[in-house]
């Protein structure tokens, strides 16, 4: 069974610091990895996608993938109060037709 | 650019009543479409997906059904709602070949 695990939090980080969010997945044939941000009462918004081992940077966000350890992480630099949200890790298992499997999300709080 | 619309945004229904949620995608043809549900305290659960008109795959046996009468229209239905059907219902489409999933605004259903 495909599983994606995240610490539910809340994770509290001071403003301006680095927030580190982690995710592990169970299926070794996973091919695509995503981070979504979800504000309370809103639908999830895609913020990062990563497909190969290593780091991918986009502005203040860096996604890290280690397929050998089945581990994905998201770093948010210079955290802002507007980054306070639930962050969902999602994994695709190839082909795309059967959608993505999501973790339950980590609730991030940026303290001013 | 592609957009996805869902309606209604919010609804409150009594137990045993019918349900119809609609989703329409614009700016793309023959998209893979998905219905997810997010219940309180739970992660995103894939309910149905469709790769074309009239083609529906169900991920979870339940009180719900889906239909795809047109290429860019996806409908979620129930004949008799249960209390456990309450949740945030999200329609989504997926890009090919990157497999990025994009959500509509969501429909929040409360069954009383």
Mean predicted confidence (pLDDT) in A31-39: 95
Instruction: State what percent of residues in chain B have pLDDT above 70.
Output: 99
| pLDDT per position as a tens digit, B68-81 | 999 999 999 999 99
Q: What's the pLDDT at A94?
A: 64
Which 8-state DSSP code applies to residue A19? Answer: E
Which residues are CB-neighbours of A98 under 8 A, at least 6 positions away?
B46, B49, B57, B59
Rank B34-48, B63-77, B90-104 by mean pLDDT and report only the highest.
Answer: B63-77
| Separation of alpha carbons B98 and A95, rounded Å | 9
Instruction: State what percent of residues in chain B have pLDDT above 90.
Output: 78
Q: What's the pLDDT at B61?
A: 66
Per-residue confidence band for A109, with pLDDT thresholds at 50, 70 and 90: very high
Per-residue confidence band for B104, with pLDDT thresholds at 50, 70 and 90: very high
> In sequence order, what are the beta bridge partners of A96?
none
Selected residues 39-78 of chain B with any CB under 8 Å from a CB in chain A: 42-44, 46, 49, 51, 57, 59
B99:A100 CB<8 A: yes
Asked whether the predicted pLDDT for residue A88 surpasses 90, the reply is yes
Q: What's the pLDDT at A98?
A: 76
- The tokens for A25 are 């997945």
How many Cα atoms sit within 13 Å of A52 on the Cβ side? 0
B32:A101 CB<8 A: no
Q: What's the pLDDT at B82?
A: 95
Q: Is B106 on the interface with A (CB under 8 A)?
A: yes
Q: What's the pLDDT at B8?
A: 97
| pLDDT per position as a tens digit, A36-75 | 999 999 999 999 999 999 999 999 999 999 999 999 999 9
Query: How many residue contacts between A and B have a Cβ separation below 8 Å?
Result: 60
> Which of A32, A102, A103 comes nearest B99 by C-beta?
A32
Rank A99-103, B18-22, B59-63 by mean pLDDT and report only the highest.
Answer: B18-22
Q: What's the pLDDT at A95?
A: 57
The whole-chain average pLDDT of chain B stands at 93
B106:A42 CB<8 A: yes
Rounded to 5, what percent of chain B is helix, strand, coil? 5, 60, 40
> Which of B34, B42, B43 comes nearest A99 by C-beta?
B34
What is the distance in angstroms between the Cα of B73 and the nearest Cα belonging to chain A? 17
């Amino acid at each position: 069974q495909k599983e994606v695990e995240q610490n539910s939090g809340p994770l509290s980080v001071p403003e301006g610091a680095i927030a580190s969010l982690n995710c592990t997945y169970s299926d070794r044939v996973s091919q695509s990895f995503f981070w979504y941000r979800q504000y309370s009462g809103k639908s999830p918004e895609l913020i990062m996608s990563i497909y190969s081992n290593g780091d991918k940077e986009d502005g203040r966000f860096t996604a890290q993938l280690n397929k050998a350890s089945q581990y994905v992480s998201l770093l948010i630099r210079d955290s802002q109060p507007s980054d306070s949200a639930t962050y969902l890790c999602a994994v695709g298992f190839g082909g795309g037709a059967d959608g993505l499997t999501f973790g339950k999300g980590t609730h991030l709080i940026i303290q001013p | 650019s592609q957009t996805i619309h869902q309606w209604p945004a919010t609804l409150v229904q009594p137990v045993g009543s019918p349900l119809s949620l609609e989703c329409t995608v614009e700016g793309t043809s023959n998209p893979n479409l998905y219905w997810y549900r997010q219940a309180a305290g739970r992660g995103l659960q894939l309910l149905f997906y469709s790769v074309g008109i009239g083609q529906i795959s169900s991920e979870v046996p339940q009180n719900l059904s889906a239909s795809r009468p047109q290429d860019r229209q996806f409908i979620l239905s129930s004949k008799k709602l249960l209390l456990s059907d309450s949740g945030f219902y999200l329609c989504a489409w997926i890009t090919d070949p990157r497999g990025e999933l994009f959500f509509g605004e969501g429909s929040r259903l409360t069954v009383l």
